[in-house]
A and B are shown apart, each in its own frame.
Chain A
Amino acid sequence: MKKIEKNEASTTVDIRKMIEAIKKESSDNKK
């Protein structure tokens, strides 16, 4: 399966990064 050059709302998001940031902020707050 390959990516295809685009020729469908625009907002897409890297949820993994977002979750890591949330976890980090949450753990910083606990400290």
Chain B
Amino acid sequence: MSSSVYKYSRFFHCFTHEDQVCLYNALTMETVYTTADKFEQAKCLFETGWHVGNNSILRKMFHHNMIVPKQQDEEFILKEIRKTLFSGPKIRVMVLHMTDFCDLKCKYCFIEGGQSSGYRRQVMSFETAKAAVDKFFNIIQGHETQKSPSVVFYGGEPLLNWETIKYALLDIEQKEKETGINIDKVIITNGTILNDEIIEFIKRYNIQISVSLDGIQEVNDANRIDLHGEGSFNRAVKAIKCLMGNGVTPAVSCVMAKEGIPRVDDSIRFLIEDLRIKGLGFNHVSIIPGLNFYDPAYEEQFADAILHVQDVIQRQYPFVYERRMGHKVNMFLDKLFIKSDCTGCGEQFSVSPLGEIGICQGYMGSRKTFRKTVFDSEYNPEEDPVFVEWSKRSPLNIEKCLACPALATCGGGCPRNADMINGSIWEPDSAFCHFAKKAQTWLIWRNQE
């Protein structure tokens, strides 16, 4: 029972903070907290052939799979896990791009930024929306997933094509009755053209709505501007207040660009205390070839700001869900491994305004991965080799990720970013790695507190 018959697991990591040590299994998320002195003593005993059962730290490490029998084949265990977890795509989400027209011209927009100079904008027709809804219901029938199926109305600004959204909602309602499947409906909007009829529909169909707003006016209007260069802050805030006044609590989608980081405390206070927002999500600025480049210094600052926000939320606003960290906190406390963050990894397809089917809205400008259409009756994206490949993208299948302490809580970041930065979805998303590693350290020490 000594180091002659035992070894450190390849997933064993050691976090240190002042005189404290956290021993951690990055695959199972098991933790052992002790002091640096006690761990040093245990390590010496283990490495000089001491009996594992004779030391309490070594016993705990053995119990939590940080020390494993030398003959234990961890590669075999990984292969068996992969066999169970990666059985191909299981579509749950359809993202409908109602139009790629928008009444704003946000400086960091990845939809706009991905379009070539001769790009022709389009608007989704009734016929395309109906074919997409039919395709979606055909695919999801018989599926069982951990989360409800959902249809996301996306753009551009989707409400510019309100008549087709209305038509699609009626069609979805009919299909729900026919199949007994309930669908979550989500609209992602900049809020500039909300009106009474739209709000009435939002209430009637119990639509989840997310309004894009980056924080206080100075922060928002630095990037979120209209075609005349005017800031969008007042219009977005008016929309949020109008929704609230009608009994609808929207979520807020925030891009935290460089300008927003120094004012994050003001923005979070404004969103939660003034606007009474209960759900929000912070995004970093997407990589856009020729426009937004991978900037390690920015990604470090972004990570620090998100963790600071979560500290504020945990301390002052425990009723607020910031999805970027909230998901990690919940999964870490439940000891549930995040197979992948991105719904593009086997759970979603996107539909262009013309009905082309692809994986990720981030490729809408270039149409990369968009190969067939909703009118191809035989086509099932779950059988498409590109969708099958994406469904396997997980830190568990990326060799460089297996040695990372954030293996279980990372989710692998954004495959599109990995593709843009490193040339392949099978590379890590370097931009996201900064946040994932800092978040893992944050989870370890906040968990101890």
A14 touches B65 (CB 8 A): no
- Does A28 reach chain B (CB closer than 8 Å)? no
Q: Which of A7, A10, A14, A23 contacts B278 (CB 8 A)?
A: A7
Query: Quick one: which of A7, A14, A26 contacts B337, CB cutoff 8 A?
Result: A14
Chain B residues near A1 (CB-CB < 8 A): 314, 329, 333, 443, 446-447, 449
Inter-chain contact A10/B447, CB cutoff 8 Å: no
A4 and B310 alpha carbons, distance in the complex (Å):
11
Given the known A-B contacts A1-B443, A19-B65, are A8 and B81 also in contact in the complex, defined by CB atoms under 8 Å? no
**Which residue in B28, B321, B446 is a CB contact (below 8 Å) of A4?**
B321
Q: Nearest chain-A residue to B313 (Cβ)?
A: A4
Contact with B along A6-31 (1 / 0, CB 8 A): 11111111111011001100100000
* Complex alpha-carbon distance, A6 and B331, angstroms: 11
Given contacts A10-B92, A12-B337, whether A4 and B320 have CB atoms under 8 Å apart is yes
Given the interface contacts A4-B329, A7-B323, does A22 sit within 8 Å of B77 by beta carbon?
yes
Chain B residue with minimal CB distance to A22? B80
In the complex, chain A residues whose CB is within 8 Å of the CB of B343: 8-10
Interface size class of A (residues with CB under 8 A): 20 to 34
Q: Inside 8 A of B279's CB, which chain A residues have their CB?
A: 7
The proximity string for B residues 112-142 relative to A, scoring 1 for CB distances below 8 Å and 0 otherwise, is 0000000000000000000000000000000
A-B contact pairs, 18 of them (CB 8 A): A1-B443, A2-B318, A4-B319, A4-B321, A5-B319, A8-B327, A9-B341, A9-B411, A10-B343, A11-B340, A11-B347, A12-B337, A13-B339, A15-B28, A16-B65, A18-B81, A19-B27, A19-B81
Q: CB within 8 Å of A: which residues of B? A: 27-30, 65, 76-77, 80-81, 84-85, 92, 145-147, 251, 278-279, 313-314, 318-321, 323, 326-327, 329-331, 333-343, 345-347, 408, 411, 443, 446-447, 449
